[in-house]
């Protein structure tokens, strides 16, 4: 009998768990107390005067009442405090962070710090130095810094970094150090556990929670759209973005998403009721103008999402279908510039616009959809330019007089449906609704139609065929799916939905001209921004393109200094998003798993091994 002696080489090596570390070396208990206390003091600092003069917008000179950017710092401090208390397991607050509070505390503290210091720097730049700050301004800077230090001292799972290579040059060393810094920085927000299963609430309680979330969304949107100056809107973007990320890291967004998934019809109706309530929060028609244009842009982006997000067809000339619908509806709506001299009811004009766009979708798609990838993108881009040049030449000189050339179809009359004049002011329950508020309600109805069509299509047999074509066309064809027919249906349906929105746009803007439908135009919608809205918002989702379209229209409308640099800014935003969140703002679960396959693999293997 032979006895075998175990050696070191025979001993299995268990990989070491990643170290629990932090950016600042402070005991965890002290760090948590520092972050929470800093959050409380941040809330208090918002009630102090930050500057001595009201020359800075927002009037930050009042003690005891926040104004302007102070409200945003207060929100950041309140979130830091709430998540800090939730991390202690305070009864009634622990449900705020089902996935852990540490990452949420970090993001909330960064939001308060960034907004407070940005405000102080803006005051100094605009008024001429830090001497224009009152003691309250310095207090806000100090306490937000304290909260940030405490938050960054909270532990996280330290990820593996790239080791140094002696053969690397200076440029390689710089790239490695930047990569390691981002890995560590991202790891600081990744201390997130699996959300604890929530106790199932009664149905009415879940619906009440959904209603509260929708009301909060209406409040946030109304505040953002009604900001009166650039500094406040920039602070709003910082606070809203980091605040939403904090809620997501805490697991609260996932918990609400689970509720909305169980009550999808209630959520959809509630969302449209909340959107319809927006005009009643305004005293005039100023911001309803932005609201109706956001709906037009976002609705067309949702139609493009069928083509790009579901079927995986890269369409760079989609805005042309919006133009086809707008021109077709304008020509039969009684405009004196129309060569036909026809004045049909709106429902007929809308159907004509949608049907004309569908016909053009079939005519363009039939000979081109056998192409794939970049070739299809080039053809659709060419179609967009052909449409614009064609309507320019149909002016009675270069071609037949149909579109009135560069002058377009102008003086499109306001709608009058069942005696309701959309161009006149109306009083409802003591609220005065102007022209754009009336069209906002009409556009909401169109948006509802598009959402229902998208949802029903995505869940149908044809929707599953679109997804199969998008994922692997060769495999889908091998399984018996008629790829050409399926893609043509997607192309035609997307064009039809764009034509519906175009019919409303023609009446909202009074005039349709060729310059409105270029690939890249100073004012959206255009093909470049529509595609960016789908990608930024989240391909294959309903709310993603709506949110992406709202952001891409609202940001240039509120930040006028971006007028000459918006393409550069959105290109940079796309690069950053593709690097750090390729699935978009609202993630489709399938895309999220694909883009983060490496992150999901270890957990999956561990679970399988267990």
% of the chain with per-residue pLDDT over 90: 30
d(CA 102, CA 84): 8
Give alpha helix (H) positions in 263-408.
Answer: 264-277, 286-305, 319-331, 346-368, 373-393
CB 155 within 8 A of CB 125: no
What pLDDT does 598 receive? 53
Per-residue pLDDT tens over the stretch 494-550: 999 999 999 999 999 888 988 888 877 666 677 888 888 888 888 888 888 888 888
Q: Which domains does the chain have, with CATH numbers?
A: 20-162+171-253 (no CATH), 263-597 (1.10.3470)
The per-residue pLDDT for 133 is 92
Enumerate the β-bridge partners of residue 409.
512
Per-residue model confidence as pLDDT tens digits over 263-308? 888 998 999 999 999 988 887 788 888 889 899 988 899 999 999 9
Q: Say what the pLDDT of residue 12 is.
A: 41
pLDDT at 219: 92
Question: In this structure, what token pair is assigned to residue 118?
Answer: 């940005």
pLDDT recorded at residue 176: 63
Is it the case that residue 141 has pLDDT exceeding 90? yes
pTM above 0.85, yes or no: no
On the 0-12 / 13-18 / 19+ scale of CB atoms within 10 A, 276 is middle
Q: How confident is the model at residue 136 (pLDDT cuts 50, 70, 90)?
A: very high
Check pLDDT > 50 for residue 4.
no
Pick 155 or 83 by higher pLDDT: 83
Residue 80 has pLDDT above 90, yes or no: yes
| Burial per residue of 463-472, b for 16 or more beta-carbon CB atoms within 10 angstroms, e otherwise | bebbbbbbee
Would you state the pLDDT for residue 47? Answer: 95
Beta strand 420-421 pairing with 20-21: unpaired
In DSSP terms, which residues pair with 432 in a beta bridge?
427
Of 186, 141, 127, residue with least CA distance to 160 = 186
Q: Is 553 exposed, middle or buried (0-12, 13-18, 19+ CB in 10 A)?
A: buried
Structure tokens at 433: 């609704």
pLDDT digits (tens, 9 = 90+) for 575-595: 887 777 777 888 776 666 666
pLDDT in tens, 25-62: 677 788 889 999 999 999 999 999 999 888 888 889 99
The C-alpha atoms of residue 484 and residue 311 are separated, in whole angstroms, by 11
pLDDT for 167 = 61
HEC string of 541-608? CCHHHHHHHHHHHHHHHHCHHHCCCHHHHHHHHHHHHHHHCCCCCCCCHHHHHHHCHHHHHHHHHHHH
Structural tokens at position 564: 């000459």
pLDDT reading at 5 higher than 60: no
Shortest CA distance to 557 belongs to which of 525, 586, 579, 519? 525
Q: Report CA torsion sign: 64, 70, 71, 74.
A: negative
Q: How confident is the model at residue 173 (pLDDT cuts 50, 70, 90)?
A: low
- The per-residue pLDDT for 6 is 44
- The answer to whether residue 93 scores a pLDDT higher than 80 is no
| 106 or 584: which leads in pLDDT | 106
Considering only 185-199, 203-217, 306-320, 342-356, which range has the smallest mean pLDDT?
185-199
Q: What is the mean pLDDT of the chain?
A: 82
Which DSSP helix (H) or strand (E) runs through 66? none
Confidence of residue 608 (pLDDT cuts 50, 70, 90): very low
Segment 208-216 long-range contacts (CB within 8 Å, at least 24 positions apart) = 209/256, 209/259, 210/256, 210/259, 210/260, 210/263, 210/266, 210/267, 210/270, 211/270, 213/256, 214/267, 214/270, 214/271, 214/273, 214/274, 215/274
Chain centroid, CA 317 distance in Å: 22
Q: What is the mean pLDDT of residues 69-83?
A: 94
pLDDT tens digits along 354-390 = 999 999 999 988 888 888 778 888 888 888 889 989 9
Listed residue (528, 572, 582) closest to 297, CA to CA = 528
605 pLDDT more than 60: no
Two tokens, residue 580: 């750090």
Upstream peptide bond of 542 is cis (omega within 30 degrees of 0): no
Res. 601 pLDDT band, cuts 50 70 90: very low
Give the tens place of pLDDT for each residue, 408-442: 888 888 888 887 888 888 888 778 888 888 899 99
**Count of alpha carbons within 13 angstroms of residue 143, beta-carbon side:** 26
| Strand spans (E) along 105-188 | 156-157
Angle at 511 between CA 505 and CA 512, to 5 degrees: 70
C-alpha to C-alpha distance for 356 and 364, rounded to whole angstroms: 12
In degrees rounded to 5, what are phi and psi of residue 302? -65, -35
Residues 6+ away with beta carbon under 8 Å from 218 = 274, 275, 277, 278, 281
With a CB cutoff of 8 Å and minimum separation 6, the contacts of 364 are 380, 383, 491
Q: What is the pLDDT of residue 312?
A: 87
Confidence band of 401 (pLDDT split at 50, 70, 90): confident
Per DSSP bridges, beta strands 431-433 and 426-428 are antiparallel
């Amino acid at each position: 009998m032979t006895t075998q002696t175990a050696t070191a080489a025979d001993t299995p090596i268990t990989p070491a768990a990643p170290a629990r570390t932090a950016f600042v070396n402070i005991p965890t208990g002290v760090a948590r107390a520092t972050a929470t206390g800093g959050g409380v003091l941040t809330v208090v600092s918002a009630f102090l005067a930050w500057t001595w003069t009201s020359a800075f917008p927002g009037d930050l000179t009042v003690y005891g009442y926040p104004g302007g950017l102070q409200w945003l710092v207060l929100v950041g401090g309140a979130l830091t405090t709430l998540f800090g208390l939730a991390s202690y397991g305070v009864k009634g607050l622990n449900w705020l962070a089902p996935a852990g509070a540490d990452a949420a505390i970090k993001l909330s503290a960064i939001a308060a710090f960034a907004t407070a210091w940005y405000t102080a720097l803006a005051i100094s730049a605009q008024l001429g130095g830090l001497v224009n700050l009152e003691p309250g301004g310095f207090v806000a800077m100090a306490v937000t810094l304290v909260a940030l230090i405490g938050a960054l001292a909270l532990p996280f799972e330290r990820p593996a970094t790239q080791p140094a290579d002696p053969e690397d040059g200076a440029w390689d060393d710089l790239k490695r150090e930047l990569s390691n810094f981002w890995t560590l920085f991202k790891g600081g927000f990744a201390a997130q556990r699996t959300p604890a299963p929530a106790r199932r609430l009664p149905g009415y309680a879940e619906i009440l929670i959904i209603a509260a979330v929708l009301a909060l969304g209406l409040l946030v949107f109304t505040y953002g759209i009604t900001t009166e100056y650039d500094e406040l809107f920039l602070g709003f973007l910082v606070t809203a973005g980091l605040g939403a990320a904090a809620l997501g890291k805490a697991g609260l967004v996932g918990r609400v998403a689970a509720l909305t998934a169980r009550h999808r019809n209630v959520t959809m109706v509630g969302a449209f009721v909340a959107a319809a309530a927006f005009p009643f929060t305004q005293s005039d028609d100023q911001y309803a103008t932005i609201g109706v244009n956001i709906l037009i842009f976002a609705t067309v982006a949702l139609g493009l999402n069928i083509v790009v997000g579901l079927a995986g067809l890269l369409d760079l000339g989609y805005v042309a279908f919006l133009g086809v619908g707008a021109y077709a509806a304008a020509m039969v709506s009684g405009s004196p510039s129309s060569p036909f001299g026809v004045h049909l009811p709106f429902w007929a004009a809308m159907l004509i616009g949608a049907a004309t766009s569908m016909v053009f979708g079939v005519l363009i798609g039939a000979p081109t959809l056998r192409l794939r990838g970049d070739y299809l993108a080039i053809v659709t881009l060419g179609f967009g330019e052909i449409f614009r040049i064609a309507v320019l030449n149909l002016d009675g000189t270069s071609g037949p007089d149909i579109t009135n050339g560069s002058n377009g179809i102008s003086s499109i009359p306001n709608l009058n449906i069942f005696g309701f004049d959309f161009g006149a002011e109306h009083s409802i329950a003591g609220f005065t609704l102007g022209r754009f508020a009336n069209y906002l309600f009409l556009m909401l109805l169109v948006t509802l139609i598009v959402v229902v069509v998208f949802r029903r299509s995505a869940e149908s047999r044809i929707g599953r065929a679109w997804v199969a074509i998008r994922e692997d066309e060769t495999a889908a064809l091998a399984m018996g799916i008629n790829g050409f027919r399926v893609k043509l249906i997607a192309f035609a349906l997307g064009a039809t939905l764009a034509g519906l929105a175009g019919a409303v746009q023609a009446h909202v803007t009074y005039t349709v001209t060729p310059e409105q439908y270029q690939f890249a135009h100073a004012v959206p919608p255009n093909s470049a921004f529509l595609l960016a809205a789908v990608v930024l918002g989240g391909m294959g989702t309903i709310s993603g393109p709506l949110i992406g379209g709202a952001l891409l229209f609202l940001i240039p409308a509120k930040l006028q200094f971006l007028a000459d640099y918006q393409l550069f800014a959105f290109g940079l935003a796309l690069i950053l998003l593709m690097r750090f969140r390729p699935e978009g703002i609202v993630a489709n679960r399938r895309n999220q798993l694909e883009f983060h396959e490496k992150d999901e693999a270890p957990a999956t293997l561990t679970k399988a091994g267990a």
